[in-house]
Structure 1
Amino acid sequence: MGTRSGVRTQASGIRVSGLRWWMFGFFVLVMIINYIDRASLSIAMPLISKDLHLDAAITGVVLSSFGWTYAVMQLPGGWLVDKLKPRKVVTGSLLGWGVIEGLTGLANGVASLIGMRMLLGVFEGPVQNGANASLTRWLRKSEHARGSTLVDGGGPLGTAFGGLLVTGLIVWLGTWRLAFAGVGLITVLVGVAAWVFMRDNPATHPMITREEADYLAKGDAEEGREPEARGSALRYFRFRSAWLLLIAFFGYDAVVYGLLTWAPSYVSEVQHVSFGITGLWTFVIFGAGFVGELIAGQVADRWIRSGASANLVLRTLLGLAGVGVAVAIILVNTVSTPAAAILLISLANFFLRWGGLYWSVPARLASSQHVGRLSGAMNFSGNVAGILAPILVGVIVQVSGSFVGVFIMFAIAGLLMAVPSVAIDYSRKL
């Protein structure tokens, strides 16, 4: 193995190269592409709904359809990641959903649009489980919070850049249909890069130094090697903490998907912002989420390294996150200007994306052999909320003619995120 410049560890004085952070930087890119593709329909929806003559209720169903198959794929997706390993699953997913994204531009009605979104959900389903499972091999336990929030941070960052990219492509190409083809091509290219760059075992990566491979290999011994798992992953659901995790993530994803699917339409149609400027405001809303995610990961890891217990750190940060979401989002109903409303939504998303810390929890609760499956169960629960939220928003808007009830629903979901989070025992394996 070659030698390259790196960083010196405080404990040993050995210089350790940062390939593991390059690997997770690549996963950030994967998640950015994931959310650009996922959010592309929401961003283009003001144009698509006019082109295909969709009302608010039908729009909610279309926006929800991605979640139908995405949620179903979480449990088999977690199993696939554990069995086939992340490299194969992530590469295959990228190639598959890139093709489907490109073909979405051919949709000519509600049925074909829903069909394309359901296929997109099938291929995107296992990706975040793959990234989360890689965390246990590519990072030490003391780096997990930063790693999980870095990867999950690709979500709001992808939606933010997606607002600019998709809007820019539509304006440049003159149609939302060609914009989908362009984004699909980018995704396929990233899929090829995944196969070239990813490795499931850090020691086999051609770019890793011996020092970094040893640093990662010795992590278990220095931080406490876990016992070999016995029995089925279903055994985790004999414990309260596993169920609380699913409930908290349900509340978290209800707001994530609610904002992801409806924020561009709210900005464009309710606040009467032009389509081009909608992309800029979308960038602000979801860019705030990315900043919040990075801050939460850094604070959590530094606080834990200072000697604080995982229970103190995660209960505090995740509990505050849910309360922050509830307060900021309910205040949207009290302001009268577009700028104030959008900035409050941005603040809510800032606190919301502290929830990226949830992706570090399966590695704390489950043995390494079952992290993918517990992550899949957690994400399945969240994506049930992801199915319901867009439909409920559409129905509320269709019936009431406003978003007031929508923001009340989001505030309740924020509290549903906060309360279980402060009751989970993050300190021991189940």
Structure 2
Amino acid sequence: MIINYIDRSSLSIAMPLISKELHLGAATTGLILSSFGWTYALMQLPGGWLVDKLKPRRVVSASLLGWGIIEGLTGLANGVASLIGMRMLLGVFEGPVQNGANASLTRWLRTSEHARGSTLVDGGGPLGTAFGGLLVTGLIVWLGTWRLAFAAVGVITVLIGVVAWVFMRDDPATHPLITRKEVEYLEKGEVEDGPEPVVQGSALRYFRFRSPWLLLLAFFGYDAVLYGLLTWAPSYVSEVQHVSFGMTGVWTFVIFGAGFVGELFAGQVADRWIRSGASPNLVLRSLLGFAGLGVAVAIILVNTVTTPAAAILLISLANFFLRWGGLYWAVPARLASKQHVGRLSGAMNFSGNVAGILTPILVGVIVQATGSFVGVFIMFAVAGVLMAVPSVAIDYSRKL
């Protein structure tokens, strides 16, 4: 997931240079940044199906190899059409990977560890964006061009794909490095959880209930802010706060590093709180509801400050609360049977990535029309409230 987000955010990080080189306006930039989400969203449902059928190891490894090649070829783009085409292909190959990671952790972790596991895996998102800010800007400065930087990152991704195939296993008991004690620990967890009944029918049966629809709505609000920051934060830091390109990478690291800390914090608190005897409803409603409100308050305050440091630190605080939303990745396993986790995760991620398609375009239109990010931060605050309200109405306590 770290590599996923380094590659996903690389265009956003390089966009201040690319937009100058290709003479792109804010609305056109927003369209290009949105194009990744077009195919990424469409891949969520078939991607979830592929994960359930082919298992995570095959899907994750193939995804890494495919998008690494596309990332490297992005450096050859010479206009709007070719940039959009490369981003759409990147979305195709990256589409199944988080569903694969989410399905894998249900095999490798006991139920009591799912919150920490899901936030650790999802934490690769802000951590990858944070290190991507340093890596991509560093490569551009060192190599002298964003085009060679993309080629270098693509090679790294392909190598990670090979490592994933060699190292991953779908069944923990078959991994060459696992100990007998660890296998027994996982087996004991399955016994304590009790046998899970095989559910007949398709994953569509879950949408006869309220909670999956609320999950999709909450994740829509979450991803609206996530994609807004992912695609536009580097441009905001560079163009509005007038930070040099080299320092943009440093501030990007601060913003998204805060998100990684937020993910780990939320995962630890959730699992420890539940283990202490608290109900999943109390824990997840409290954390996710508070997170959405924290995002709304922090992001709206950006419009009231006058210094770059204050604005960027408030955005970092908003991202800290936002990434508590990594807990959403533990919810499909709470609502669905194991054979449907990949598909429900895919439906959730599809909903979020509809927001991921719309948000970069809306940001570009607002900025081009008003010459300001004030309306953008108001939109992000509304999305934070949209994240909070459905989250406190989901029933996390039983499988459907």
Work out whether the TM-score is over 0.5: yes
- Written as runs of structure 1 = structure 2, the 5 A alignment for 1:279-294 is 279-294=249-264
Q: Is 1:46 the counterpart of 2:9 in the alignment?
A: no
Taking the aligned partners of 2:113 and 2:324, their CA distance within structure 1 comes to: 16
What is the Cα deviation at residue 201 of structure 1? 0.4
Match of 1:174 among 136, 144, 162: 144
Residue in 1 that maps onto 2:176 = 206
Code of the residue aligned with 2:102 in structure 1: it is N
Q: Is 1:99 the counterpart of 2:69 in the alignment?
A: yes
Match of 1:191 among 149, 161, 176: 161
Taking the aligned partners of 1:93 and 1:72, their CA distance within structure 2 comes to: 15
Taking the aligned partners of 2:104 and 2:249, their CA distance within structure 1 comes to: 33
What is the Cα deviation at residue 224 of structure 1? 2.7
Taking the aligned partners of 2:107 and 2:69, their CA distance within structure 1 comes to: 30
Q: Is 1:137 the counterpart of 2:104 in the alignment?
A: no
Taking the aligned partners of 2:397 and 2:109, their CA distance within structure 1 comes to: 19
Taking the aligned partners of 1:154 and 1:137, their CA distance within structure 2 comes to: 19
What is the Cα deviation at residue 160 of structure 1? 0.2
Q: Deviations over 1:76-105 (max 9, x none)?
A: 000000000000000000000000000000
What is the Cα deviation at residue 115 of structure 1? 0.2
SS in 1 for 2:394: coil
Code of the residue aligned with 1:97 in structure 2: it is W
What is the Cα deviation at residue 214 of structure 1? 1.6
Q: Is 1:114 the counterpart of 2:88 in the alignment?
A: no
SS in 1 for 2:201: coil
Taking the aligned partners of 2:196 and 2:283, their CA distance within structure 1 comes to: 22
Residue in 2 that maps onto 1:381 = 351
Code of the residue aligned with 1:129 in structure 2: it is N
Q: Is 1:255 the counterpart of 2:218 in the alignment?
A: no
Residue in 1 that maps onto 2:369 = 399
Residue in 2 that maps onto 1:25 = none
Residue in 2 that maps onto 1:232 = 202
SS in 1 for 2:78: coil
Residue in 1 that maps onto 2:341 = 371
Q: Is 1:343 the counterpart of 2:317 in the alignment?
A: no
SS in 2 for 1:218: helix
Match of 1:357 among 327, 336, 352: 327
Match of 1:243 among 213, 220, 239: 213
What is the Cα deviation at residue 167 of structure 1? 0.2
Residue in 1 that maps onto 2:303 = 333
Q: Is 1:419 the counterpart of 2:389 in the alignment?
A: yes
Match of 1:305 among 271, 275, 290: 275
SS in 1 for 2:398: coil
SS in 1 for 2:399: coil
| Paired-residue identity, % | 88
Taking the aligned partners of 2:271 and 2:9, their CA distance within structure 1 comes to: 30
Q: Deviations over 1:297-333 (max 9, x none)?
A: 0000000000000000000000000000000000000
Q: Deviations over 1:264-312 (max 9, x none)?
A: 0000000000000000000000000000000000000000000000000
What is the Cα deviation at residue 225 of structure 1? 2.5
Code of the residue aligned with 2:93 in structure 1: it is F
Code of the residue aligned with 1:198 in structure 2: it is M
Taking the aligned partners of 1:353 and 1:315, their CA distance within structure 2 comes to: 15
Q: Deviations over 1:86-132 (max 9, x none)?
A: 00000000000000000000000000000000000000000000000
Residue in 2 that maps onto 1:146 = 116
Taking the aligned partners of 1:420 and 1:361, their CA distance within structure 2 comes to: 13
Q: Deviations over 1:150-176 (max 9, x none)?
A: 000000000000000000000000000
How much is the aligned-residue C-alpha RMSD, in angstroms?
A: 0.5
Match of 1:277 among 247, 250, 254: 247
Taking the aligned partners of 1:217 and 1:82, their CA distance within structure 2 comes to: 21
Taking the aligned partners of 2:227 and 2:108, their CA distance within structure 1 comes to: 29
Taking the aligned partners of 1:207 and 1:295, their CA distance within structure 2 comes to: 29
Q: Is 1:217 the counterpart of 2:178 in the alignment?
A: no
Q: Which moved more, 1:119-128 or 1:211-220?
A: 211-220
Taking the aligned partners of 1:381 and 1:124, their CA distance within structure 2 comes to: 16
Taking the aligned partners of 1:284 and 1:111, their CA distance within structure 2 comes to: 32
Taking the aligned partners of 2:188 and 2:81, their CA distance within structure 1 comes to: 53
Taking the aligned partners of 2:121 and 2:52, their CA distance within structure 1 comes to: 18
SS in 2 for 1:325: helix
SS in 1 for 2:140: helix
Code of the residue aligned with 2:180 in structure 1: it is R
What is the Cα deviation at residue 223 of structure 1? 2.1
Gap regions ≥5 residues in structure 2: none
Taking the aligned partners of 2:138 and 2:104, their CA distance within structure 1 comes to: 34
Match of 2:52 among 73, 77, 82: 82
Code of the residue aligned with 2:27 in structure 1: it is A
Q: Deviations over 1:347-391 (max 9, x none)?
A: 000000000000000000000000000000000000000000000
SS in 1 for 2:360: helix
Gap regions ≥5 residues in structure 1: 1-30
SS in 2 for 1:54: coil
SS in 2 for 1:226: coil
